[in-house]
Structure 1
Amino acid sequence: MRRTARSGRGDKTNGRWARRGSAQAIALSRLAPRDLLSEALAGMLQRPARSVLTALGTVLGVGTFVAVLGLTATTSSQIDSRFNALTATEVTVEDVGAGRDSVAGTSFPDDSDTRIQALNGVRHAGVYWPVSLKPGETVRSSPVGGASEVGDETQVVAASPGVLQAAAPTVEQGRLFDSFHSDRAEPVVVIGSGLAARLGITTLDTQPAVFIGDKPFTVIGVIGDVQRKSDLLLSVVIPSTVAEKAWGAPSTDEPAKMLIATELGAAAQIADEAPLALDPAHPARFKAVPPADPKALRTTVGSDLDQLFLLLAAICLVIGAVGIANTTLVAVLERTGEIGLRRALGARGRHITGQFLAESGALGAIGGLVGTSLGTITVVAVAAAREWTPVVHPATVAAAPAIGLATGLVAGLYPAWRASRIEPAEALRR
């Protein structure tokens, strides 16, 4: 009896030591980082086609992210140069003294163009104003009304030769009028290509004419585009001397203005000097409008582009994350038996979690690296095609692979957690 009792106590003691040893073995089980990476690599290489398709979403998302930021920076650089080349080189002088201080018609002197062009930094300058036509006067290409009549909405602009030069037009046919036509008050006009088509004028070889009311004017030039003062494309431009003879001086309701094209960086200085150059005794009769600071507009344009394209990149990253999460979850379901066997051999829940997180993170990181390369190549290719200077910030290139890695880790959280919750006995029964 005693031996039996002792034997029973010994069995109990041995059972307790066996359970303690098993618990200690489980507690001491660990997964080295090297083994973790090798397991993740083996899991990806088991199904390479699926891994490539899974990483494709991250490739598109990260590639779009890099391409968007690079193209935005490149476009902003081009916007800067265009603002500097056009907006920052244009000054407008308004006649605010017309009709006041015994000034009739216009405050601009007859030699306004010469005075302003004598200033250092001025390329071209000229005075212009809208002509006030008499009631019933319209623009047509024949002396009587008909299909070629364009109506009362067509504006007639009186301009000195410097206005056309300051507008920097592209001449499609003929030429611009110059000081010769202006000094002799020649009845000539320059019109835009759209207005020429409406008037039925297709060539200048026949020396076509347009009629403003009953006054004929020879069309000597057709312009297709302008860099400044785009309303000239829809107007009939005549020499200012001709307009004064036929319709008088500018009205006080729509006074004359001056358009000045300057060298880069000289606009602000010319805006300060122009009133004094035009009339040293009465500079207050003129209001010079310098170009607006383009920094605020450039910032707004760049911000809008950033927000729009970053939203597109975020959508691509979300799609990539959903693809990785879906594929990882399917892998968990397919590998339930493997997970159960690993748990039975001593793997803990955190080891299973780390394994699947490593797989999804590796897919995201690889997708991020490939996407970064493709995005950079896209920026360079687009810039080369448009003859721009590609701009890609180093921070963007450095952050893009990290974004891919983070996307893969976030996408693998739920599948990895679900894998760690699988019980060994249940998994082995499946």
Structure 2
Amino acid sequence: MSRAGRGVSELRPAGLGVRDVVRVGAVGLRTRPMRAFLSALGIAIGIAAMIAVVGISSSSRAELDGQLDALGTNLLTVAPGTRLTGEQAQLPLTAEEMVGRIAPVRAESAVGTVDGASVYRSNKIPAIETNGIIAYAARTNLLDTIGATLRSGKWIDAATGRYPATVLGAGAAERLGITRAGPEVQVLIGNTWFTVLGILEPAALAPELDAAALMGWPAAASSLAFDGHATTIYTRSDDAQVEAVRSVLGATANPEAPNEVEVSRPSDALAAKQAAGQAFTGLLLGLGAVALLVGGVGVANIMVISVLERRAEIGLRRSLGATRGQIRTQFLTESLLLSALGGIGGALLGSAVTAAYASYQNWLTVIPPWALAGGVAATLVIGGLAGLYPAIRAARLSPTEALATP
């Protein structure tokens, strides 16, 4: 190579490796740590909000899925509807027996409302204060059919079902101020004192029983003049035949007036709750995205100010041979590093919030990996866009103009 060629080669600026780019880009962060922290905090809050929303929603849905798996989605209920005249319909006395004859039905049980039987803890309470507790006659296999459990005491069996003994729903026990069952604990149902035999846990698939006082079918008939008509029939069917059973339940329970029968699947309420949770998640994700955008605007603002404050540095570097591309890369890298710090911090903060809330609710902590990866990736995109204009502006400064600025 000629001497002139070697001279031209020696005047070419040296390229920057990845390590050099990161080190040079971090200069602004090291020299202004408080400003960098506050800027990264804006990004972190947006990412933490998004990850916490996704994590809490995923944990909640996992809990609902667990409930559905444990309780099953094959529970169907049959209840009387309304007649064409608007009056309340009534299921025939043979409805339970007929429903039990449907081949895919594995189990069936029922409750019947005992009309005019108010429930009180004391006979000193005015009759007008009904406290919203409903008296039901219940079959002995009700708990197994609906998947409910006892909190205290025991359930009604063939023996106790003939005597004035009751099992209270979780809400009914709370309203009556009863915390545990026992032979010494009694409540007044109608004009008869009933011994509290047990207390139920909240029934996820039969929430109407939470505010109920349940008694045996024979006891309700002998003590409270119960007419024997079921008001809700619960059925468990083969999973593959649920829809087929659902289509014939109305006509089977009341062949003479199938249009006066309402058939539903209680697990649909949990599915609706999931759908509502997903819609709420979308709303909160939108708010998190706004917070992230605000953080990105903050990064852009900080980078523009940084360019203005460091014009002398830019001019000196250009005078020493730095190219426009290297200056542009320096400030773009600084913006990306600032956003990455905010993204990683936000991911950790959002994960911690999700874990704390799920632990408080006794849920399994579920944070989708895509949420963490997407959150950090979003910060890098925001950081790159926020730092692009300041980087281009810094690269366009000529050495003389930059050094001449006081």
- The TM-score with structure 1 as length reference comes to 0.69
The aligned runs of 1:176-187 (5 Å cut-off) are 176-182=155-161, 185-187=162-164
Matched, 1:94 2:79: yes
Q: Is the 8 A contact 1:189 1:237 kept in 2?
A: yes
> Are the counterparts in 2 of residues 36 and 355 from structure 1 also a CA contact under 8 Å?
no
Match of 2:242 among 267, 275, 283: 267
**TM-superposition CA deviations, 1:251-281 (whole Å, max 9, x none):** 8xxx7221224565553344346467667x7
SS at match of 1:325: helix
User: What does residue 61 of structure 2 align with?
Assistant: 76
Shift, 1:46, TM fit:
6.2
**Match among 138, 141, 144 for residue 159 of structure 1:** 138
Q: In the TM superposition, what whole-angstrom CA distance separates every residue of 1:352-373 from its partner, at most 9, and x where no partner exists?
A: 4443223212433455466557
Q: 2:112 — aligned with what?
A: 129
Distance 1:58 1:128 in 2: 56
Q: Matched residue of 1:237: which SS?
A: strand
- Structure 1 counterpart of 2:310: 335
Tell me what 2:152 maps to. Answer: 173
Q: 1:407 to 1:187 in 2, by over 3 A?
A: same
Report if aligned partners of 1:68, 1:310 keep a CA contact under 8 Å in 2.
no
Query: Does structure 1 retain, via aligned residues, the 8 Å contact 2:59–2:367?
Result: yes
Query: How far apart, in 1, do the equivalents of 2:353 and 2:179 lie?
Result: 43
Cα distance, 1:241–1:272 mapped onto 2, change above 3 Å: farther
Task: Return the match for 2:281 from 295, 305, 310.
Answer: 305
Matches within 5 A, 1:30-49: 34=16, 38-39=20-21, 41-45=23-27, 47-48=29-30
Q: Is the 8 A contact 1:130 1:250 kept in 2?
A: no
How many Å separate the matches in 2 of 1:214 and 1:273? 40
Contact 2:133 2:213 (8 Å CA) reproduced: yes
The equivalent residue for 2:378 is 403
Q: How big is the shift at 1:304?
A: 2.3
Distance 2:395 2:119 in 1: 84
Give the Cα separation in 2 of the matches to 1:218 and 1:266.
40
Identity level (%): 26
Deviations 1:183-240 (A, max 9, x none): xx42222223554455465654453433334333333223242233223232222333
Number of equivalenced pairs: 386
| 1:140 counterpart residue number | 120
Question: Counterpart of 1:92 in structure 2: which amino acid?
Answer: T
Q: Specify the SS of the correspondent of 1:157.
A: strand
Contact 1:161 1:239 in 2 (8 A): yes
Aligned pair in 2 of structure 1 residues 268, 283: CA closer, same or farther (>3 Å)? farther
Distance 1:200 1:70 in 2: 37
What RMSD in Å do the two structures reach over aligned CA positions? 4.5
**1:222 aligned counterpart, secondary structure:** strand
| Partner SS for 1:226 | coil
Structure 2 counterparts to residues 215-294 of structure 1, below 5 A: 215-245=192-222, 246-249=224-227, 256-262=231-237, 267-272=242-247, 274=249, 284=258, 287=261, 289-291=263-265, 292=268
Structure 1 pair 108–271 and aligned structure 2 pair: CA distance change class (3 A): farther
Tell me the SS of whatever aligns to 1:128. Answer: strand
For 2:158 and 2:293, how far apart are their aligned partners in 1?
A: 65
Change (3 A) 1:170 1:113: farther
Q: 1:174 & 1:293 partners in 2: Cα distance?
A: 29
Instruction: Check the 8 A contact 1:63/1:375 in 2, yes or no.
Output: yes
Contact 2:151 2:199 in 1 (8 A): yes
2:333 is the alignment partner of 1:358: yes
Q: Residue 7 of structure 1 corresponds to which residue in structure 2?
A: none
Q: Counterparts of 1:30 and 1:61 in 2: how far apart (Å)?
A: 43
Tell me if 1:107 matches 2:79: no
Residue in 2 aligned with 1:392?
Answer: 368
Which residue number in structure 2 is paired with residue 188 of structure 1?
A: 165
User: Does the CA contact (< 8 Å) of 2:21 and 2:329 recur in 1?
Assistant: no
Extract unaligned runs of 5+ from structure 2: 1-7
Amino acid in structure 2 at the alignment position of 1:189:
T
Please tell me whether the aligned partners of residues 113 and 126 of structure 1 are also in contact (alpha carbons under 8 angstroms). Answer: no
- Cα distance in 2, alignment partners of residues 401 and 33 from structure 1: 29
Contact 1:141 1:148 in 2 (8 A): no
Aligned 8 A contact 1:210 1:216 in 2: yes
Distance 1:231 1:263, change over 3 A: same
Contact 1:41 1:359 survives alignment (8 Å)? no
Match of 1:21 in 2: none
Contact 1:272 1:288 in 2 (8 A): no
Instruction: Give, in angstroms, the shift of residue 68 of structure 1.
Output: 4.2
1:72-115 Cα deviation digits (max 9, x unpaired)? 44443443343454472321113469999xxx9641328x3696
**1:287-306 Cα distance to aligned partner (Å, 9 max, x none):** 46242497676444223213
> C-alpha displacement at 1:156, in angstroms?
2.0
CA drift of 1:423 comes to: 5.1
Shift in CA distance, 138/278, structure 1 to aligned 2, threshold 3 Å: closer
Distance in 2 between the 1:200 and 1:194 partners? 10
Task: Output one character per residue of 1:145-197: Cα deviation in whole Å (capped at 9) or x when no partner.
Answer: 34899537432222222334434433233222123344xx4222222355445
5+ residue gaps in structure 1?
A: 1-24
